[in-house]
Amino acid sequence: MTSISRADVAHLGRLARLELTESELDHYSEQLDVILQSVARISEVAADDIPPMSHPIPMVNVFRDDVVKPSLTRQEALAAAPATEDDRFRVPRILDEE
Per-residue pLDDT, 97: 67
Domain count, the chain: 1
Residue 17, domain extent: 6-45
| Within a domain: 88 | no
How much of the chain, in percent, has pLDDT values that exceed 90?
A: 51
Span 42-66, mean pLDDT?
80
Task: Using pLDDT thresholds of 50, 70 and 90, give the confidence band for residue 86.
Answer: very high
**CATH code for the domain of 22:** 1.10.20
Q: Do residues 87 and 74 lie in contact, with contact meaning Cβ atoms separated by under 8 Å?
A: yes
Q: CA triplet 4, 7, 13: central angle to 5 degrees? A: 95
What pTM value is reported for the model?
A: 0.46
Residue 28 to residue 10: CA distance in whole angstroms: 10
Q: In this predicted model, what pLDDT tens digit does every residue of 6-52 receive, in sequence order? A: 999 999 999 999 999 999 999 999 999 999 999 888 878 767 787 77
Judge whether 29 lies within some domain: yes
